A and B are shown apart, each in its own frame.
Chain A
């Protein structure tokens, strides 16, 4: 089927939105009708498995009562005492079925109108298909703010529905001086798809620690997630993400330091097996001086799987004294697996310190022999080494995140 026909059919299958997302849906529809679905000619999608993307889009988006019933039965680990949990169950109105903790509240209509879509627009990249796919299909909005100078923890869980595709839209406004420890968990289901568009605005002096655990696990589950973050001056943002177990996943974090003078830390891990494809396409742009970035992207690919990392950093003339470091470290565990990694640094300012590097290696024989020579069996030694490899990313998650058993899942797969 031609890409344009496929695209139109998909768009026609989507229910029409009302409210805040009506206009967003129009923007997404218009773009997709004009541009069509991505092709290998689009640089950002060149390595993407478009068959898997088409499977993603061929799943029905209409959620029925049976689906709602099955998702409501999903069992999750017990929530932390100090961390409020929001579970996003599709078509459940209103989306917020909990009492929000002190210092976190829903955005007012005015605040939504003022902010929604602006961050994603300012991080716009050519042929922004991931965003438009979400705009066209998202029917619900979770819009929250953390009030000025509050210090809060929050967990947002988004489960998938078997045989269905869901889209979610999230907007978080974190007001001046506030601190938020945010943990997001995406889980897959058999033959399911998720599409997320998350916008986060950090006002000045905000500290946001953002953990994102994205676990496909089940058969043929897919995920596309665009995360657009705008940082005001003197804000600190640290993102720690894990993608694992998806047949197809695409993660697009885009961070803008709107006036520079902010600090960004990104530690990402993607782990693939079987014929999975997981990609991360990051963009960090400094719109003012004295910005700092520390980015580490790790990938582990085994069997026939494929990991992709494209890391763009933009340092225009006005971003003098920027200090940015990007490192892509990759582990190939099979001859048939594939890893593509591409740093893209666009530096115009002349008084900056920017470094980047990429390595692809295998598990080190000498490390393995050292463990074996102490009587540790091969499987256990490999597990220890992998855990060590993951540690640079997973050690940043709060201890309580361990209840999602992601470390065990990451290691168990590779031991098979």
Chain B
């Protein structure tokens, strides 16, 4: 899917960001072009989830310096809902339960917000039901989940399927999927991964944040990045993920030691 003429979707330069006055990201650089699938791996606390929240515009995270450009436009000043409408999608590691808010209504309102941005007509209840039923097939989800409150009482796997369902409805330009594979059994992982593969378009791109190589057996990334201490310290292809699976993250410490020695 990658070609030299591909448009850059996301360009992050020297991004520093903090939460609760503690700097977590110490200069992240990342370029994602259309059609590309990137995987970001790293230990707990390396800054992966923070990066995803900062891109999505979570108000608790403060950008200290650097830039995040979406299709050439700086989005740091945009509110989270504005980022979502232009096509930035964050698949949550822990999807939030919202009691009393119907999943179907939530999905419809969200879909219409995105459609409005795309200058498509808003869908009424009946039209939306047709669309959602069709998209449910992508994640093999029971329509009964539409009648329930958003994520309330869903199992871990059902929550993640609901995230991918949202991705299917919103048709984002870039999807950042934060540990979408965590808490999934083998079957659920396969269903979720197949959904992500089906939704991949030559004009869209995906960032997978994951701990494990097993997701990458299902979805082949074009690039694998390793994050440590709030930076991307190494970039490679799928082989890097395989290597990581074999030898663990110890090499990061070895690299750091070597660097220190050299200095």
Q: Hey, which bits of chain A sit against chain B, CB under 8 A?
A: 364-367, 369-378, 380-381, 384-385, 387-392, 395
Cβ contact within 8 Å between A370 and B92: yes
Partner of B170, one of A365, A375, A389, A395: A375
Cβ contact within 8 Å between B96 and A367: yes
| Chain B residues within 8 Å of chain A by Cβ, number | 30
Cβ contact within 8 Å between A365 and B59: yes
Q: State how many angstroms separate the Cβ of A105 from the closest Cβ of chain B.
A: 40
Q: State how many angstroms separate the Cβ of A415 from the closest Cβ of chain B.
A: 14
> How far apart sit A388 and B103, CA to CA, in the bound complex (Å)?
11
Cβ contact within 8 Å between A376 and B90: no
Verify if B16 is at the interface (C-beta below 8 Å from A): no
Verify if B101 is at the interface (C-beta below 8 Å from A): yes
Verify if B63 is at the interface (C-beta below 8 Å from A): no
Contacts of B166 in A (CB 8 A): 374
Contacts of A377 in B (CB 8 A): 81, 113
Q: Name the residue among A373, A385, A390 with the largest chain B CB count within 10 angstroms.
A: A373
Cβ contact within 8 Å between A373 and B98: no
Q: List 29 A-B contacts (CB under 8 A).
A: A366-B96, A369-B58, A371-B106, A372-B57, A372-B80, A372-B81, A373-B56, A373-B57, A373-B80, A373-B90, A373-B92, A374-B166, A375-B84, A375-B114, A376-B113, A378-B81, A381-B81, A384-B106, A384-B109, A385-B98, A385-B101, A387-B100, A388-B101, A388-B149, A391-B99, A391-B100, A391-B101, A391-B149, A392-B99
User: CB-CB contacts of B75-86 with A at 8 A, as 1s and 0s?
Assistant: 000011101110
A367-B98, A387-B100, A390-B100 given; A372·B79 CB < 8 A:
yes
Cβ contact within 8 Å between B98 and A388: yes
> How far apart sit A366 and B106, CA to CA, in the bound complex (Å)?
15
> How far apart sit A385 and B98, CA to CA, in the bound complex (Å)?
8
Q: Name the residue among B80, B114, B117 with the largest chain A CB count within 10 angstroms.
A: B80
Contacts of A371 in B (CB 8 A): 98, 106, 110
- CB under 8 Å from chain A, chain B span 164-185: 166, 170
Q: Name the residue among A369, A372, A374, A385 with the largest chain B CB count within 10 angstroms.
A: A374
Contacts of B3 in A (CB 8 A): none
Q: State how many angstroms separate the Cβ of B68 from the closest Cβ of chain A.
A: 15
Instruction: Name the residue of chain A whose CB is nearest to the CB of B169.
Output: A374
Cβ contact within 8 Å between B98 and A370: yes
Cβ contact within 8 Å between B99 and A374: no
Contacts of A391 in B (CB 8 A): 99-101, 149
Verify if B66 is at the interface (C-beta below 8 Å from A): no
> How far apart sit A377 and B150, CA to CA, in the bound complex (Å)?
17
Partner of B100, one of A366, A375, A378, A388: A388
Contacts of B60 in A (CB 8 A): 365
Cβ contact within 8 Å between A376 and B81: yes
Cβ contact within 8 Å between A369 and B101: no
Q: Name the residue among B57, B109, B117, B150 with the largest chain A CB count within 10 angstroms.
A: B109
Contacts of B83 in A (CB 8 A): 373
Cβ contact within 8 Å between B84 and A374: yes
Instruction: Name the residue of chain B whose CB is nearest to the CB of A381.
Output: B81
> How far apart sit A376 and B99, CA to CA, in the bound complex (Å)?
17
Verify if B23 is at the interface (C-beta below 8 Å from A): no
Instruction: Name the residue of chain B whose CB is nearest to the CB of A392.
Output: B100
Cβ contact within 8 Å between A380 and B80: no
Contacts of A384 in B (CB 8 A): 98, 101, 105-106, 109
Contacts of B81 in A (CB 8 A): 372-378, 381
Contacts of B27 in A (CB 8 A): none
> How far apart sit A391 and B100, CA to CA, in the bound complex (Å)?
5
Partner of A375, one of B58, B85, B92, B105: B85
> How far apart sit A366 and B81, CA to CA, in the bound complex (Å)?
14
4 pairs of A and B residues whose beta carbons are closest in the complex: A388-B100, A391-B100, A375-B113, A374-B110
Contacts of B114 in A (CB 8 A): 375
Instruction: Name the residue of chain B whose CB is nearest to the CB of A389.
Output: B100
Contacts of A376 in B (CB 8 A): 81, 106, 109-110, 113
> How far apart sit A171 and B112, CA to CA, in the bound complex (Å)?
50
Contacts of A365 in B (CB 8 A): 59-60
Cβ contact within 8 Å between B84 and A372: yes
Contacts of B100 in A (CB 8 A): 387-392, 395
A sample of 11 more A-B contacts (CB under 8 A), given A369-B59, A384-B105, is: A372-B80, A373-B57, A373-B84, A375-B113, A376-B106, A380-B109, A384-B98, A387-B100, A388-B99, A388-B149, A391-B149
Instruction: Name the residue of chain B whose CB is nearest to the CB of A364.
Output: B96
Instruction: Name the residue of chain A whose CB is nearest to the CB of B151.
Output: A370
> How far apart sit A366 and B60, CA to CA, in the bound complex (Å)?
10
> How far apart sit A239 and B56, CA to CA, in the bound complex (Å)?
43
Contacts of B79 in A (CB 8 A): 372, 378
> How far apart sit A114 and B90, CA to CA, in the bound complex (Å)?
67
Contacts of B84 in A (CB 8 A): 372-375
Cβ contact within 8 Å between A369 and B109: no
Q: State how many angstroms separate the Cβ of B55 from the closest Cβ of chain A.
A: 10
User: CB-CB contacts of B100-122 with A at 8 A, as 1s and 0s?
Assistant: 11000110011001100100000
Q: State how many angstroms separate the Cβ of A101 from the closest Cβ of chain B.
A: 34
Q: State how many angstroms separate the Cβ of B175 from the closest Cβ of chain A.
A: 12
> How far apart sit A375 and B80, CA to CA, in the bound complex (Å)?
7
Cβ contact within 8 Å between A375 and B101: no
Contacts of A364 in B (CB 8 A): 96
> How far apart sit A372 and B90, CA to CA, in the bound complex (Å)?
11
Q: State how many angstroms separate the Cβ of B22 from the closest Cβ of chain A.
A: 18
> How far apart sit A391 and B80, CA to CA, in the bound complex (Å)?
26
Q: State how many angstroms separate the Cβ of B207 from the closest Cβ of chain A.
A: 15
Instruction: Name the residue of chain A whose CB is nearest to the CB of B83.
Output: A373
Q: State how many angstroms separate the Cβ of A392 from the closest Cβ of chain B.
A: 6
> How far apart sit A377 and B112, CA to CA, in the bound complex (Å)?
11
Contacts of B106 in A (CB 8 A): 371, 374, 376, 384
Q: Name the residue among B57, B92, B105, B106 with the largest chain A CB count within 10 angstroms.
A: B106
